[in-house]
Structure 1
Amino acid sequence: MKPIRIVCGTRESRQDFSTKTALGRSLLIHEAANPVDLMLFAENKQGLSSIYNRAIDEAKEDPAILVFVHDDVHLCDFSWSERLREAVETFDVIGLAGNTRRLAGQPAWAFVDDRFTWDEKRYLSGIVGHGSSFPCNVSNFGPVPQACKLLDGLFLAADSERLWEANVRFDEQFEFHFYDMDFCRSAELGGLSMGTWPLSVVHESGGAFGTPMWRESYRRYQAKYAEGGEPTPQETSVQKQTPVHQFHNPDLLKLMPTNAKRVVEIGCSSGALAREYKKLNPDVHYIGIEIDPSYAQLAREHCDRVLDMNIETVSAQLLAEDLAADCWVFGDVLEHLYDPWQLLQKIREASAPGSCVVACIPNAQHWSVQARLSVGDFRYEDSGLFDRTHIRWFTLVTMLELFTQAGLTVEAGVPRVFDEPQRERFLPAIHAMAAAAGRDPEMAVQDALPLQYVFRAVVS
């Protein structure tokens, strides 16, 4: 049975730890029923991320259930080690309090902005006591246990072997503030599950939010994940991009290389495309990214990993490392982004030569759009060319410019033309308009036929 290894940094000396810290006193009280290894960094002046990484490194040859905990946490549960072993059978990373969602610009697991506005209670989880003795104040944040996306760093636990398998570590630029937020992001990208677990503790500190050091760490955290201070409209409302369904785009599938080792699909919806692609290439590692958490849950049945996140907040570092791929897939997604030009450029800069982007893009030059515009009938709908969540609009000309401006070379393209007999009434008018504008009328008619285009563009 793996030992439980407490990893703690304290300003106290090794001799004083057991009498002058809440954690030291509680370990002494429970040592008979809850034996542990203690990896204590006494008189510590290093950042927590540094000492926690050292514990992960040393656990490679000596695996353990690692518990990263502050010295001002009093463990009250008489059987806390038994409960912890149960917890790591359910979740890969354990915390005592957390949030089931994460918003762009979020500065802590419980707050939605840097004015320390509490998130809605329905998203929170955990029970933590506060004070220096009993009785104490108890914060009941929400139901426990609960799968979470963010966990409070006062107590984090994980099996060291799972951390090594997923290549998850702490970022040492975050010495104290934001090390927990960043660690949760890394765990999510590593495909690790996270959740809260019921363990009775009393925390003697209320945190140090808003100090100059905290704000500097917040700035670095935002820079790492390319987040602004305020949540974007996409994050706060999380509009459903297109009604979820179980169908895949066969033309998109045909342009995906069948020998890709890693595929990242943006807007994976139910995972239908992943399901079909894995029939052709069962050895692929398929990552789905989906902004709608309910869709992401469906996609997990078919993808190896699914991240529910806004791809426009991703940093260049994450694109080049955790999300490195041979093939990026955008199935009717680029038109939903605020800056698809910048995202494609970031992907190109982070990708190896020969990598590709495969995309399906709606055609704003389609005959039906022109017909409706001619009479002012521009009304948003739940799906299709007039999808209310479309932000950008492209014609064939501007689609090609999109890839060129990102530094990608289009090597294949397929127009998706469907049987639409009603178009015959409008094509003569489109022909006439192009002639009146001094442009090629035959080309204008041809460009009005496709509902969508599918492209494969490569990194040279």
Structure 2
Amino acid sequence: MKPIRIVCGTRVSEQEFSTKTALGRSLLIHQAANPVEIRLFAENKQGLSTIYNRAIDEARDNPAILVFVHDDVHVCDFLWSERLREGVVAFDVVGLAGNTRRVEGQPAWAFVDDRFTWDQACHLSGLVGHGNSFPCAVSSFGPVPQPCKLLDGLLLAVDSERLEQAHVRFDEQFEFHFYDMDFCRSAELNGLSMGTWPLSVVHESGGAFGTPAWRESFGRYQDKYAMASTPKPQEANVQKQTPVHQFHNPDLLKLMPANARRVVEIGCSSGALAREYKKLNPHVHYTGIEIDPGYAQLAREHCDRVLDMNIETACADLIAGDLAADCWVFGDVLEHLYDPWALLQKIREASAPGSCIVACIPNAQHWSVQARLSVGDFRYEDAGLFDRTHIRWFTLVTMLELFTQAGWTVEAGVPRVFDEPQREKFLPMIHAMAAAAGRDPEMAVQDALPLQYVFRAVAG
């Protein structure tokens, strides 16, 4: 019987793998019932495609069921190795989540466009837990098992001999983003079947959709498959709102008080955050406020009520009365307002002591913004830091000022730093600019890393 060989790249050392990564800890727990081989690329600085291909090459003389998996995946199934063996009998390539179809220009297995519009539920398959503790949030995408055309690269399992026979490898131009999309295209072109399989895991981190590195890889993926559309003038592509999506911000969720009685979320979009929070606090009364009627209709499935309105037009009496809450939530919203200072002050004046605001705000000091500004590349986009619907821009310093000037006390803050290896070549220049300006260069580099900040501010 072929061994199961885990293939994983991690930034930690080999000695730290079993204690500092979700995958390492879970493999240690299950090692008696699930004996496996581990091909670990410790302290890894190479692209995933590169190390995965090395494992494929090594398997020529030592075939195995290869499991390409991220190190932030906690395997929860006590008999997961048997499940995987069953899966690779049913399909050539097995994953946890996927899509039964592929449409032109698709940027990920779950989305149909680069505005991150979810595909119809009837095309999706999979079940994945999210979080770093138990109980965790569970995303149920659709029935499992299902034949698929695209699989999430979080975990991919395949018999090495089938890969060798089909001459399928990973394209090393995709170091992280789109390596899974490209691999699935290659597998399909070479006659390999793909499908989801039931396996319980918890993913400890979210994706990095929409980051500069992601968009750069998306362009190369489009070029490879000749899917790039003709660029349109900015004026012809203006979006009324940031595109709706079904994701929630896990860092925002963590800072929300666990026992809030009344929550008001501004810009609730599809209601994804309400959906997850009500799992933790089912007795809360959750009000969503959404300026887009179409988004508001989606959010009504998860909120106790949703108001179609522009919160900046709300009078003080409405905020203090019908909208009175012990937690207000602004998930990537304050930057879309004309006068966020006035609104936060109005809410503060209407709030009882101990009430809080939880907010996520994009960082205008992010290294990618500085890099693009240095060459005049300030072009609006449909999402991300250059979202065309942003009205205000904040750095960490001005974010803190925003709250304090409105009478709030920031008691918790979390920088959201993602895996962006391409930043390393820009950070020395940021360091040098800060030094030239007579400011702390180390602090300038640290403040250039977060894509966003999440805060909880309280009323005294």
Please say which structure displays the higher CA radius of gyration: 1
**What is the TM-score of this pair, normalised by structure 2?**
0.50
